[in-house]
Each structure stands twice: as C-alpha cells, then as structure tokens.
Amino acid sequence: MCLAVPGRVESVFAESGTTMAQVDFGGVKKKVCLAYLPETAVGEYVIVHVGFAIQRLDEESARETLATFERLGILEEEFGDGFEAATQAMREDQ
C-alpha cells in the first residue's frame, strides 16, 4: 500500500530545473518533488505521495493524520526502518 503522508518542509531547492524540498516526516527526512506545488515555503506542511507533494495542509491536520496512521498500524509500510524514529519524534512533540 502507498499512502499520502504529511510532512513538514525543511528546505526548498532547485535540482535539474525542478523545485524540490527536504521534508521531515516526524524524524524521517526525504527528498520530495514540489513540481505540483512550486510555491510551497519552508515550514509548511504537505501531503506526499510517491515522492511528490500533492497538497498543502495545516499543522494540526498533519499531526492528526499521522496519529491516525499510527493507530491503524500502517505507517511502518511507508517508513520501513525509520518508522520508530518518526513515531517517537511525533510523540515527543505532543
């Protein structure tokens, strides 16, 4: 299963003419393509699906979504080995 997961944009940069971002998913950091949302700014939250930011959202909605995914036990599929780091960081922020 592939989820659309919310994360916080830490940096925005260009790579080969494409707007990209470093996104933090509660401790798991991934490079994400911002081609669909090129105006996204550092500090905003985005929903990411298969490496592409597809929607911006507020912090509260992002945290609620991550908590729901954790309760359902489906984040591990998405984050693999980084799952523990992501869920622990999320708990510490609450």
Tens digit of each residue's pLDDT, the chain (94 residues): 456 889 999 999 999 999 999 998 877 889 999 999 999 999 999 999 888 999 999 999 988 888 888 788 776 666 665 545 544 554 455 4
Domain that holds residue 10: 5-93
- Predicted confidence at residue 65, as pLDDT, reads 85
- Predicted confidence at residue 68, as pLDDT, reads 85
Q: Return the CATH number at 26.
A: 2.30.30.140
Q: What is the DSSP string of 24-78?
A: EETTEEEEEE-TT-TT--TT-EEEEETTEEEEEE-HHHHHHHHHHHHHHT-HHHH
Per the structure, how many domains does the chain have?
A: 1
